[in-house]
Structure 1
């Protein structure tokens, strides 16, 4: 794992809400984002409107692999951004640096806790 990947993952966790887990919840979320239009969601996912309605009612539980990937990608695209506090940003950065640089992705310093304090500016070049 690289510092870039660790920071990206940590910051994504600090800035976005969790993606709905079940297929039905994902489709309901997409329908809500498209102002209740099952037709728009069906076109987006490449399935019939009736299929979308079945997912909304939890009549279908497990999508095909390629449809599951499309659903997850679309839900992630629509995920709302939430503001993280400065403290959360410091902690996300410290966690990423600790994991990649100090703990070497779990190969050393397992119990090391990294904390960034009194940071005015930090710059990374990759």
Structure 2
């Protein structure tokens, strides 16, 4: 990928970023912070292959060697972002797996979202508008969301499932009211998940 392509590559959407932030909050130890320790950590995860790590980060093998040797210490913004993202995606896999397993089988997750919510329901008089909603998501929906995330789902794939989860817990109160209501959200201003 050229520098031009990397600069214009699509960033992860707000839902995917929120899921990544939620996972970082369950870490029991802080992830490595310096470029050298991040590079060393990722090097061991790449089975000590400088070439594999360089390809993963989108840099030359010489760049990886220089950071590992401590000759370079201040990465450019793109490399810094890649180091942080890759390190955190590999950090404490068992802790993350435990939190994900518990959330998808018993405890569920909390979601706080500020977005435009529109409704589909016969006889509904509630027009769509910007709302801030904090509500639990059932383990069933958590499992679907996390499975989609692991399968490489896009924001467009995740929005309907998150909207269904919010509809179930917030708008229909687990099926006890507003039968047939369907809420969709768009123009997400902020979203956070909590395991």
What CA RMSD, in Å, does the superposition of the two structures yield over aligned residues? Answer: 3.2
**Shift in Å, 1:52:** 0.3
Asked if residue 69 in structure 1 is aligned to residue 81 in structure 2, the reply is: yes
* Residue 35 of structure 1: aligned partner: 47
Shift in Å at residue 29 of structure 1? 0.5
Residue 11 of structure 1: how far off its partner (Å): 5.9
- 36-45 or 74-83, larger mean C-alpha shift: 74-83
**1:36-82: per-residue Cα shift (whole Å, max 9, x none)?**
11111111111111110110111100000111011111111111232
Say if 2:57 is the partner of 1:45.
yes
Relative to total residues, which structure has the larger strand share, 1 or 2?
2
Quick check: which one's helix share is greater?
Answer: 1
Give me the whole-angstrom Cα distance separating, in 1, the residues matched to 2:19 and 2:46: 31
| Aligned positions, number | 90
Unaligned runs of 5+ in 1: 87-92, 101-122
Q: Hey, what's the Cα distance between the residues in 1 that align with 2:19 and 2:57?
A: 30
Distance 1:41 1:34 in 2: 6
Report if the CA contact (8 A) 2:36-2:68 is conserved: yes
Does the CA contact (< 8 Å) of 1:16 and 1:79 recur in 2? no
Moved over 3 A (4+): 5-12, 123-126
Quick check: 2:24–2:88 contact (8 Å CA) kept in 1? no
Residue 22 of structure 1 is matched in structure 2 by 34
Q: Distance in 2 between matches of 1:10 and 1:71?
A: 19
- SS of corresponding position for 2:85: helix
1:58 paired with 2:88, answer no
- Greater RCO, CA 8 A, separation 6+: 1
Normalising by the residue count of structure 1, what TM-score does the alignment of the two structures yield?
0.56
In 2: Cα distance, 1:65 partner to 1:11 partner: 23
Cα distance in 2 between the residues matched to 1:8 and 1:40: 23
TM-score, length of structure 2 as denominator length:
0.38
